[in-house]
Amino acid sequence: MKDYIRAFRCLASALAVSAALGLVCFAQQASAAAAQPAAKPAETNPIAILVTDWTRAKDYTKEYLDAMPEDGVGSKPTPDIRSFAEQMLHLASANFGFAAAATGAANPQQGKNLEKMDEYKTKAALTKIVMESYDFVINAVKGMDVKKMDESIKLFGRFDVTRAVALSKGFEHQTHHRGQTTIYLRLKGVKPPQEKLF
């Protein structure tokens, strides 16, 4: 009988210790979970998503402009293609055009061929006009009525697309031309900026 009581006491002690350890672990896990910031809900507002993406693109393009030395602004990998400045001016001109077409905002550069304008071919002036093009897109998008995103427009007088598609194509276009300038930086001995997907 004494052996039975001793065994029962050992079992009861082991169960008590096990329960206490389990409670401590549970409390630590609950405390750690409470300390974690709540997961940010995924953004579902199309306007907010566009503003976030275009802001990221602006920041990324600025890194490219900052990385290029002044003496590389007019450089070309081969004589028959755009210079670094012309690539960026083409990008800026298209930003103005796509955003104006998609949102209905008045294009402040309408009728100008930015690529051919020597006044924008210094690093400072180039950076300024390119950043203005992104600001124009971002502000035009912020002013959009989300209900009009699916409206059809005639993009550049040729393409039947929705306003949302026009903005998407504009985003694709600026990504393409910024990407082309990676080789321009490499040829100047500059490491291109790290990719900014988020």
Domain of residue 164, CATH code:
1.20.120.450
Examine residue 198 and state whether it is found in any structural domain, yes or no.
no
Which tokens in the block code for residue 54?
């275009």
The CA distance from 99 to 107, in Å, is: 8
Number of domains within the chain: 2
Examine residue 19 and state whether it is found in any structural domain, yes or no.
yes
The CA distance from 185 to 141, in Å, is: 31
Domain residue limits at 10: 1-36
Q: Are residues 6 and 56 in the same domain?
A: no
Q: What per-residue confidence (pLDDT) applies to 21?
A: 39
Q: Which residues of the chain have pLDDT under 50?
A: 4-5, 7-8, 10-27
Examine residue 50 and state whether it is found in any structural domain, yes or no.
yes
**pTM of the predicted model as reported, rounded to 2 decimal places:** 0.78
Examine residue 169 and state whether it is found in any structural domain, yes or no.
yes
Q: What per-residue confidence (pLDDT) applies to 119?
A: 97
Q: Are residues 59 and 21 in the same domain?
A: no
Give the three-class secondary structure for 161. strand
Q: Are residues 78 and 8 in the same domain?
A: no
